[in-house]
Amino acid sequence: MIASQKRSLLVWVERLPFTREGLLWLLIALAMLVTGLLKGINLIILLSCWLVVLIAWNWWLARRQLRCLDVAGIVPDFVFAQTPFRWTVNLTNAGRRAAHGVVVREDAAPQSWFVRCADAGQTVRLEGEATLPRRGACAWNRLRLACGYPVGLANIVRDAGRPEELLVLPRPGTLQRGVLRHWLSQHSPSQGPVRAAARRQPTAQLEFHGLRAFRPGDSPRHIHWRTTARRGEVMVREFEDLPNDNLVLIVDPRTPAAAPIGTNAELERLVSLAATIAWEWCRQKGDEFALAVAGASPVLLPGVTGRELALRVLKELARVTGSPASWSGLLALLEHARLPEAAVLVLTLRADAPLEDLSQCLRRPVACVNVARAEEQAFYLDGEPIKNLR
């Protein structure tokens, strides 16, 4: 009871438009005013009134400083949990007078800047670095402006904007793609035939092979004009198809009880592994990739690898929570879905995952990694940064 009353008193004091020095100054002025009135000493009454006027003047001037200021925070397109990122704040003075002694603070970071002077019509660019502790939705852009100019007795605080929801992506790691591909070829026999039957992907990155003479049916876009002019014969570029590297990734976030984001360390490691695999797989463009997430509301995200699909997949993984839901909904979803001819990798936290039912539903063998047993350590390193998409 006493502790709650103390907290309420502290909150009430923080809401006052005064600094600690200003509050002490005001109490002294009031004490002098009462003393002067009781004793009938006009000089003390005059001095106390002057002190009160000084506080009021400081409050009015500081409030005027913030009236014409506007601030906006700019964060990157995507932010990973527990990974430092740089962001900027633009402070704009739209007034006709310069603003002095302004403090810009972001409560979500937390971080603050002191702007000594912002001239009229000037935009001050502030840069900072922040690290968000966990994935999922985060209240961002809770920027606040504070000013106590010029004598620091008043402290005017103004919220600069409405809080926005920033979706923090799962923590990245380091994936040894070659080791995982070899592991899949051993545990999922379909991986070999799929890679052997390479076919041209319309959005895939082709590898330049050489030059040859023009043949009927060749695209005019592939003509190498410099060599054609030099040899007097139409020459075209010849490309070699890169073998496809399709993958179906199934995430099983089943836990004994409901596990919100950030409450289960094994679940966070599972989601981080899934995000790292998806991010790494999408760095090579043109392959088919599909993510399936089991749960009460199963999710299926198929597509062609690239930056767009990577962000869609990571945003979906950022919202994953643990639950004791069964696989029935996911099996029903996969049974009628069009999935690529690819190896199937299941990430789970339990030893009794219904892999046989999944294999019969997909009509192909599946490979499984139990993250609770740290079976992913052969090809995955947790907590290390990953490469950006091209």
| Interval 323-332: pLDDT, tens | 998 888 999 9
pLDDT at 13 over 60: no
Q: Identity (one letter) of the amino acid at 43?
A: L
Omega before residue 170 within 30° of 0, cis: no
What percent of the residues of the chain are helix, what percent strand, and what percent coil, each to the nearest 5? 35, 30, 35
Q: In this predicted structure, what is the pLDDT of residue 274?
A: 96
What is the tally of helices (H) and strands (E) in the chain? 10, 19
Predicted confidence band of residue 203 (pLDDT cuts 50, 70, 90): very low
Q: In this predicted structure, what is the pLDDT of residue 9?
A: 55
Structure-token pair, residue 23: 């509050």
Share of the chain above pLDDT 70, in %: 86
- Nearest 5°: phi and psi at 129? -130, 135
Size of the chain, expressed as the number of residues it contains: 390
Tell which wins on pLDDT, 339 or 244. 339
| Interval 254-288: pLDDT, tens | 999 999 999 999 999 999 999 999 999 999 888 99
| Interval 333-358: pLDDT, tens | 998 888 888 899 999 999 888 899 99
Distance CA 101, CA 62 (A): 9
Q: In this predicted structure, what is the pLDDT of residue 388?
A: 56
In this structure, the dihedral spanned by the alpha carbons of residues 85, 157, 121 and 124, taken in order and rounded to 10 degrees, is -20
Reported pTM? 0.74
Distance CA 326, CA 297 (A): 10
Residue boundaries of the structural domains of the chain? 1-169, 173-196+244-382, 207-240
Q: In sequence order, which residues have a C-beta less than 8 Å from that of residue 271 and are 6 or more positions away?
A: 135, 170, 251, 253, 317, 320
- 65-79, 119-133, 182-196: which has the minimum mean pLDDT? 182-196
Predicted confidence band of residue 213 (pLDDT cuts 50, 70, 90): confident
Q: In this predicted structure, what is the pLDDT of residue 151?
A: 87
Could you give the maximum distance between any two Cα atoms of the chain, in Å? Answer: 113
Residue that the structure tokens 């002191």 belong to = 114
Residue that the structure tokens 């702007």 belong to = 115
Question: Whose CA is closest to 353, among 219, 220, 255, 241?
Answer: 255
Distance CA 387, CA 276 (A): 10
Q: Pick one of 3.40.50, 3.30.1540, 3.30.70, 1.20.950 as the CATH number of 173-196+244-382.
A: 3.40.50
| Interval 62-80: pLDDT, tens | 999 898 999 988 888 889 9
Distance CA 157, CA 146 (A): 4
Tell which wins on pLDDT, 186 or 244. 186
pLDDT at 386 over 80: no
The CATH class of 1-169 is: mainly beta
Task: Count CB atoms within 10 A of the CB of residue 319.
Answer: 14
Average pLDDT, the chain: 85
Q: Identity (one letter) of the amino acid at 135?
A: R
